[in-house]
Amino acid sequence: MVRIGEVQNDGRFLVRCKDRSFSTSVEHLASTYRSSLKNGNYMAKPTVIVFSGYGLNCEEETLHAFEMAGGRGRIVHINDAIAKPSLLDAAQILAVPGGFSYGDDTGSGKAYGNRFRGHLGKALEQFFERDTLTIGICNGFQILTSAGILPGALIAQRQWQVLVPLGRPRGGGR
């Protein structure tokens, strides 16, 4: 058995970890524990939304990975989320998988990111205000960056920089 905390004289449960501490009522812990035991679950399973559509791929594999880790979820096309933003209310995790959204014709993740921000901005803000997680995989990361969710993570360049001068190498090259 691992000791994670102790019950204080005032009936609150105190957990100390390094330089932090957390306190809650024993009744709150018991209530949370009882609700997690429904249907034989010993731990609450997080609900995951894996986005799809317009060139994203690997959504099935992404959902499967979350299910193997104990989550439950569904694949949601961005148009369905736009039509019903309240879908995000039930989720604890949002996943944006990789691919080539909109063929990357306008820049990596830019069009999908604009659609994400423009149509789901308020719902996403409400999602992020809760205790939630978000993952962007490959092109999904670029989408989150383009949407402004991860500001400053990627910097678009206005012009190409030449890294290797054209022409013959100097000094002993053949």
List, for residues 157-173, the tens digit of each pLDDT value: 554 443 444 444 444 44
Residue 157 in tokens: 């360049």
19 and 49, same domain (yes or no): no
> Taking the chain, what is the end-to-end CA distance rounded to the nearest angstrom?
70
For the entire predicted model, the pTM comes to 0.64
> What is the rounded CA–CA span in Å between residue 140 and residue 126?
20
Identity at 1, one-letter amino acid code: M
The answer to whether position 161 is within a domain reads no
If one counts the domains in the chain, the total is: 2
The answer to whether position 169 is within a domain reads no
Residue 105, number of CB atoms within 10 A of its CB: 10
pLDDT above 90 covers what percent of the chain?
Answer: 26
57 and 95, same domain (yes or no): yes
DSSP for the chain, please give it. Answer: -----EE-TTSEEEEEETTEEEEEEHHHHHHHHHHHTGGG-SSPPPEEEEEE-TTB--HHHHHHHHHHTT-EEEEEEHHHHHH-GGGGGG-SEEEE--B-GGGGTTSTTHHHHHHHHHHHHHHHHHHHHSS-EEEE-THHHHHHHHTTSSTTSS---SS---SS-SSPPPSS--
Does the pLDDT of residue 35 top 70, yes or no? no
Half-sphere exposure for 63 (CA within 13 Å, toward CB)? 15
Residue 168 in tokens: 């013959």
> What is the rounded CA–CA span in Å between residue 11 and residue 36?
22
The answer to whether position 10 is within a domain reads yes
- pLDDT band of residue 153 (cuts 50, 70, 90) is low
- pLDDT band of residue 77 (cuts 50, 70, 90) is very high
Does the pLDDT of residue 4 top 90, yes or no? no
For residue 84, the model assigns a pLDDT of: 97
The answer to whether position 20 is within a domain reads yes
Does the pLDDT of residue 145 top 90, yes or no? no
Q: What is the pLDDT of residues 57-75, one digit of tens each?
A: 889 999 999 888 888 999 9
Domain that holds residue 33: 6-39
CATH label of the domain that carries residue 87: 3.40.50.880
117 and 102, same domain (yes or no): yes
Q: What is the pLDDT of residues 102-138, one digit of tens each?
A: 776 666 778 888 898 999 999 999 998 888 889 988 8
